[in-house]
Amino acid sequence: MPIPFGPAIWPDGKVEKLEPMLVRLEKKEPLQYVLGKAWFGDIELKVNASVLIPRPETEELVHWLLETKDQKDKTVLDLCTGSGCIALALRKKGNWSMVSGLDVSVGALQVARENGEHLGLNVDWLEADLLKTDPGISGEWDVWVSNPPYVLSSEKAAIEPNVLDFEPHLALFVEDTDAVLFYRRILELGCRHLKPGGAVYFELNPLTVGEVAEAFSRLDYVNVEIRKDMFGKERMMRGFRPLV
């Protein structure tokens, strides 16, 4: 017997709320944006079109950072924080002395702040443009982590409409002519603002792993390590500032 569907079986007002959501889904808008929330591990986050939808591969990056010893004495900065998923997971699951998240997007930082307030997690949110000559970063840090824009413009043709048409291009794409722009800039700034022995962790585009490794080497980072994700792709990289 067919299951009835229609106003008769729905409480008052529910159908009116559901129909606009179905229209958005029919247009290939991601379910997370339609619902206004996404899960990052066991953390429920607010998301909207100002931020990327968190991916499982980024959870793997967080797990790697959480292997860091003596967290209670270390400061960590999440650059290109977006929804704040990395910074908030590190604050919830780690024991860092200070966790901060940085982004150029005012809209993204608003989402990150709201997520932090909702979760009751103390993260310092910073607005800065990493590509400026002086982005306004100050102090010295123990650990930097970033999932920066890394999808090449030439990859757009292969990207599904639910990503290409709805997720923020500012956080996704970089020109092929300078594919590791953000990695190089973060590493340059790290030379000034990371403590001796400080670490940088990156999420990667598997297509540009060699170029990122070269940037680490050219700027004298040491003990550079690459890790694969659950799909066997080279997805994460870590390097350290020299101790002297």
Same domain membership, residue 228 and residue 195: yes
Residue 114 has pLDDT above 50, yes or no: yes
**Beta bridge pairs of residue 71:** none
Closest CA to 149 of 131, 171, 165, 132: 171
For the ranges 18-27, 33-42, 114-123, 152-161, the lowest mean pLDDT is seen at 18-27
- Shared domain for 168 and 218, answered yes or no, is yes
Question: pTM of the entire structure?
Answer: 0.91
Whether 88 and 178 map to the same domain: the answer is yes
What's the domain range around 31? Answer: 1-35
| Claim to verify: residue 5 and residue 93 sit in the same structural domain | no
DSSP 53: P
Q: What is the CA radius of gyration of the chain?
A: 20
Asked if residue 43 belongs to a domain, the reply is no
Evaluate whether residue 126 is within a structural domain: yes
Paired residues of 237 in beta bridges: 202, 226
The answer to whether residues 98 and 75 touch, using CB atoms and an 8 Å cutoff, is: yes
Domain membership flag for residue 42: no
Residue 213 lies in a domain: yes
Q: Spell out the alpha helix ranges (H) of 104-232.
A: 106-119, 161-164, 169-172, 181-193, 209-218
Check whether residue 30 and residue 55 sit in a common domain: no
Could you give the number of structural domains in the chain? 2
Q: Rounded to whole angstroms, how far apart are CA atoms 76 and 61?
A: 14
Q: How far apart are CA 229 and CA 203, in angstroms?
A: 10
Q: Where are the alpha helices (DSSP H) in the chain?
A: 14-26, 31-35, 56-65, 85-93, 106-119, 161-164, 169-172, 181-193, 209-218
Read off the pLDDT of residues 136-180 as tens digits, 9 standing for 90 and up.
Answer: 898 999 999 999 999 999 999 999 998 999 999 999 999 999 999
| Amino acid symbol at 122 | N
